[in-house]
Structure 1
Amino acid sequence: MSTTRACPPPDGPGPEAGDAASAGSPAPAEAARSLSLVGVGGAVPLSRDFTRQALYDWGWLPARSADHRAAAEDVLLVVSELVTNACLHADGPEELCVSRSGKTLRLEVSDLGAGSPAPRTPHRAGRPGGHGMFIVQRLCLDWGVVRRSGGVGKTVWAELAGPS
Structure 2
Amino acid sequence: MADAAGQAPGSQSRRLVLADPRGAVHRCREFTREVLHDWGWLPAVGAEQRMAAEDVLMMTSELVTNACRHAGGPNELVLRRTGPVLRVEVSDSSPRPPVLLLAGRPSQPGGHGLRVVDRLARAWGSEPAGPGKRVWLEVRSPQPCRPD
TM over 0.5: yes
Task: Supply the distance in 2 between the matched residues of 1:40 and 1:126 (Cα, whole angstroms).
Answer: 27
| Residue in structure 2 matching 1:52, options 4, 29, 33 | 33
Question: For the Cα contact (< 8 Å) 1:96–1:108, is it kept in 2?
Answer: yes
Figure out how many residues of one structure are paired with residues of the other and give that number. Answer: 138
TM superposition shift of 1:127 = 2.3
Partner secondary structure for residue 142 of structure 2: coil
TM superposition shift of 1:40 = 4.8
Q: Deviations over 1:49-90 (max 9, x none)?
A: 000000110111000000010000000001100000000000
TM superposition shift of 1:126 = 2.6
Q: How do 1:69-84 residues align onto structure 2 when only pairs under 5 Å count?
A: 69-84=50-65
Tell me what 2:24 maps to. 43
Q: How do 1:7-156 residues align onto structure 2 when only pairs under 5 Å count?
A: 9-12=7-10, 31-148=12-129, 152-156=131-135
Q: Percent identity?
A: 49
Of 121-130 and 111-120, deviating more is 121-130
> Which structure shows the bigger proportion of residues in strand conformation?
2
TM superposition shift of 1:10 = 4.6
Task: Supply the distance in 2 between the matched residues of 1:79 and 1:10 (Cα, whole angstroms).
Answer: 22
Structure 2 unaligned blocks of 5 or more: 1-5, 144-148
1:158 matches 2:137:
yes
TM superposition shift of 1:119 = 1.4
Task: Supply the distance in 2 between the matched residues of 1:51 and 1:114 (Cα, whole angstroms).
Answer: 25
Of 83-92 and 38-47, deviating more is 38-47
**Aligned residue identity for 1:44:** V
Task: Supply the distance in 1 between the matched residues of 2:96 and 2:105 (Cα, whole angstroms).
Answer: 22
**Aligned residue identity for 1:128:** P
TM-score by length of 2: 0.87
